[in-house]
Amino acid sequence: MTNQIASDINSKTWQEQLSTAVSHPSELLAILDLPGGLLAGALKGDAEFKTRVPYAYISRMESGNPNDPLLKQVLPVDDETLDVSGFTMDPLSEQDSNPSNGVIHKYKGRLLLIVSGACAINCRFCFRRHFPYGDNQLAGESFQQAIDYIKKQEDIHEVILSGGDPLAASDKRLKKLVEALAEIEHLKTIRIHTRLPIVIPDRVTAEMLNWLTGTRLKPVIVVHTNHASEIDNNVASALRKLKRSGVTLLNQTVLLKGINDSADALANLSHKLFQADVLPYYLHLLDKVKGAAHFDISEQKAQNIVRELMAQCPGYLVPKLVREIAGEPGKTSISV
């Protein structure tokens, strides 16, 4: 680890670590001692979706390895500019279930709030590459409108904070939101879908534990991890801290070609997650978003991988294989 990286991780707050994130491919290549020949393709991908990766995440990559499974999630490549049939700008058609600004109500009993359009990291395979969610967020008067909408929908028992990454918002703002939600009697659970504790483990602050566990709502966090190497000691200790405070911890993974497309890779991930007090939840087939076709795994290959995983792991370490299909009333489970 270079001194620059060590000092970033050891002496900066999570907000400072967010603001010093690497945002140019040439810097990423230089830090990791990678061949300059990768730059031309990286610049093409970067022109479509900006590079963004904090030092804390880079610190877990292997220097000199262009196939590092963490690097491949964040380094733009030429292939992102390919036009592949079936891969579109808005594969989930989420505009159709948008009753109020920042609210996505697609599934029965639970509802999603877009708390922040920002992410700590730009994952190359993400559907967000075409949707910064800039104008569909819970800010200003949208906040009260969303609360009013939830109050009227008495069958909703769970609110999911999503984004972007909801934990990119300040603890002050999140505390206010959770307090307002706790006053709605029919709500029972507050769930947070986030990658931040994985990307910058210092995001798990004492203040965060306060608003998250000081509410009558039952707290659940679903983190997003794709490879065992993402879980270093700092990440594991942040996750254990959440668990010890009473938060239910689950993980979702996206199945990605060249990154985690084997039973061994997924078994290692499940075991590492379990050591950090997290249970696997979903294994997603890639959303067919334009620019991500080079990560796609066929449904049949995915089924084979999960079958093999079932033979290697106890049932509680096998995530459920799913795909999101626009218009369906929930994630579509793929049988194996």
Between 152 and 181, how does the x/- string for binding to ligand PLP read (CB under 6 A)?
--------x---------------------
How far apart are the C-alpha atoms of 280 and 267, rounded to whole Å? 10
Q: Which residue lies nearer to ligand SF4 by CB, 111 or 121?
A: 121
Min CB(222)–ligand PLP separation in Å = 7
The binder of 123, among ligand PLP, ligand SF4, none, by C-beta within 5 to 8 A per type, is ligand SF4
Between 79 and 118, how does the x/- string for binding to ligand PLP read (CB under 6 A)?
-------------------------x-xx--x-x------
Phi, psi values for residue 125, rounded to 5°: -90, 0
Among 20, 331, 334, 336, which residue interacts with ligand PLP (rule: CB under 6 A)? 331
Min CB(110)–ligand PLP separation in Å = 5
Q: Does 218 bind ligand PLP (CB under 6 A)?
A: no
Name residues contacting ligand PLP, limited to 221-260 (CB under 6 A): none
Distance, CA of 74 to chain centre: 13
Among 71, 123, 228, 269, which residue interacts with ligand SF4 (rule: CB under 6 A)? 123
Among 64, 99, 258, 330, which residue interacts with ligand PLP (rule: CB under 6 A)? 330
Q: Which residue lies nearer to ligand PLP by CB, 104 or 292?
A: 104
Name residues contacting ligand SF4, limited to 168-207 (CB under 6 A): 195
User: What is the distance between the terminal CA atoms of the chain, rounded to a whole angstrom?
Assistant: 41
How far apart are the C-alpha atoms of 156 and 184, rounded to whole Å? 10
Task: Name which of 328, 247, 256 is nearest 294 in CA terms.
Answer: 256
- Count of residues of this chain found to bind ligand SF4 when the rule CB under 6 A is applied: 10
Q: Assign residue 164 a region: left if phi > 0, alpha if psi is -120 to 50, beta otherwise?
A: left
Min CB(328)–ligand PLP separation in Å = 10
Q: Which residue lies nearer to ligand SF4 by CB, 165 or 230?
A: 165
By CB under 6 A, name the binding residues for ligand PLP. Answer: 104, 106-107, 110, 112, 160, 330-331
By CB under 6 A, name the binding residues for ligand SF4. Answer: 119, 121-123, 126, 128, 164-165, 195, 224
